[in-house]
Structures are given as structure tokens and as C-alpha cells.
Amino acid sequence: NAGVTQTPKFRVLKTGQSMTLLCAQDMNHEYMYWYRQDPGMGLRLIHYSVGEGTTAKGEVPDGYNVSRLKKQNFLLGLESAAPSQTSVYFCASSWTTYYNEQFFGPGTRLTVL
Amino acid sequence: SQQGEEDPQALSIQEGENATMNCSYKTSINNLQWYRQNSGRGLVHLILIRSNEREKHSGRLRVTLDTSKKSSSLLITASRAADTASYFCATDSGTYKYIFGTGTRLKVLA
């Protein structure tokens, strides 16, 4: 039981490049989330999904796209990376939101030059 | 904008002392959760308190919730060096998502 895993752990991109971050969970959770964490800002929700095939925007969705084709996977895409997207990205999952904890992955540290 | 704001931003105490951190939020909530984050790691859930609860305990952790003041506090008793971490509150307003605060950085000195 690996919990929530994220791939890759580190990545350096040049401005304008694209990439996809992969999140996988083996707990059969319905809900999945992508956050970014910046110094002094706490965690901010980018996008989330309440079930396979569904996605919704969070607080800071601009510049990102997501897909949830399989229940266990939640992909975060950057089509044209910008230096402002330099951050640590965390994926999380939960059964639902009501009275349920979120389980977090270890994070992906992304630097955009 | 952040729903939760933790106070203080940073706290340094001696091992064995108690640590108290506070969280204030803006809108009504269904529940509030506290998470811990060790340096360079993901967040780990500590405790959840529902809006109709006033106090909850888990081991050395004590959480209180005052919905009239829109605030919560986390007390860690008899702190240990291993408690050194950042602590975040997260609120659920019933919109399928949690809003996290900016965190309190706790340092416990041995």
C-alpha cells in the first residue's frame, strides 16, 4: 500500500516548455486534489476532482490543466511553463471532503527558468 | 484569499514545554482539520474537529474550536524535538474542497 505517489520528484523546465505531473493513489479514494505551495502562502488549490472523469477549478487554476481518466490517477499539465509556476506541487486524495482527512503525496519541486 | 490564518507565524520553545498555535477563518465551516508538515515532506493529518464540537483530544494534541469567534487552537503538550514542523489548519465550507492557512513554523529545542 503505497498511499499517494507523485512523479517526478524534481524537475527543471525552461520558460515555454510543457510537462505533466502524475499523481497516483491506491486507496480507492473518490476525491483528488492538486495544490501548489509557495513560501509564506500556505497551500493553494489548483484543481480538484470528485470522481473519475470529473474535474473542477480551484483557487489558482490559470496556466494548468488536469485530467482524471482513471480513478487512481490525477494528472496536472503545464502547457507553457512560466517562472511564476516555480513551486512545490502536492497531490492529495480523500474518500470525500466531509469529515475525511486528505492523504498527501511527497511533492514535486518544479523550477521554471 | 486564505480562509485560515495561523498565529503565530513562527514559534520556538524548549523540549517539554507546551506549544499553542491558533487559526482564524472567515466563513462558516463544516469542520476544521490540523495538519503537520515536516521539512521537505507532504502534509500529514493530525486531527479533525466538527463544527458542532468544542474540544477534541488525540494523544498529546488538544484542539478547540470556537465557531462564534471563527477560531481554533492546537495545543501540543510536553513537546519533543520530533514535533519540529510546520502546522496548518484547513477548513471545509461544504464546497468539496479545503482551504489551508499559511501555517505556523514550530521549532522545539532539545
Strand partners for B92: B31, B98
d(CA A108, CA A51): 23
Residue B94 C-alpha cell reads as: 461544504
Residue A28 C-alpha cell reads as: 480507492
Q: Are B36 and B86 in contact (CB under 8 A)?
A: yes
B43 to A43: CB separation less than 8 angstroms, yes or no: yes
Percent over 70 (pLDDT), chain A: 97
For A:93-112, CB contacts with B below 8 A are: 97-99, 101-107
What confidence tens digit (pLDDT) does each residue in B42-52 have? 999 999 999 99
- In which band, very low, low, confident or very high, does the pLDDT at B1 lie, cut at 50, 70 and 90? very low
Average pLDDT in the A35-42 region? 88
Nearest CA in chain B to A58: B97
A41 to B88: CB separation less than 8 angstroms, yes or no: no
pLDDT reading at B2 higher than 70: no
Average pLDDT, chain A: 94
- In which band, very low, low, confident or very high, does the pLDDT at A97 lie, cut at 50, 70 and 90? low
* Chain B CB contacts of A104 below 8 Å: 35, 42-44
- Amino acid code (one letter) for A18: S
B100 to A44: CB separation less than 8 angstroms, yes or no: yes
Reduced to 3 states (helix: H, G, I; strand: E, B; else coil), residue A65 is strand
pLDDT reading at B94 higher than 50: yes
From residue A82, alpha-carbon distances to A62, A109, A111, B61 in Å are: 11, 14, 9, 41
The predicted pLDDT at position A98 comes to: 66
pLDDT reading at B37 higher than 80: yes
Average pLDDT, chain B: 92
Element (H, E) at B57: strand B55-58
d(CA A45, CA A38): 12
What confidence tens digit (pLDDT) does each residue in A63-74 have? 999 999 999 999
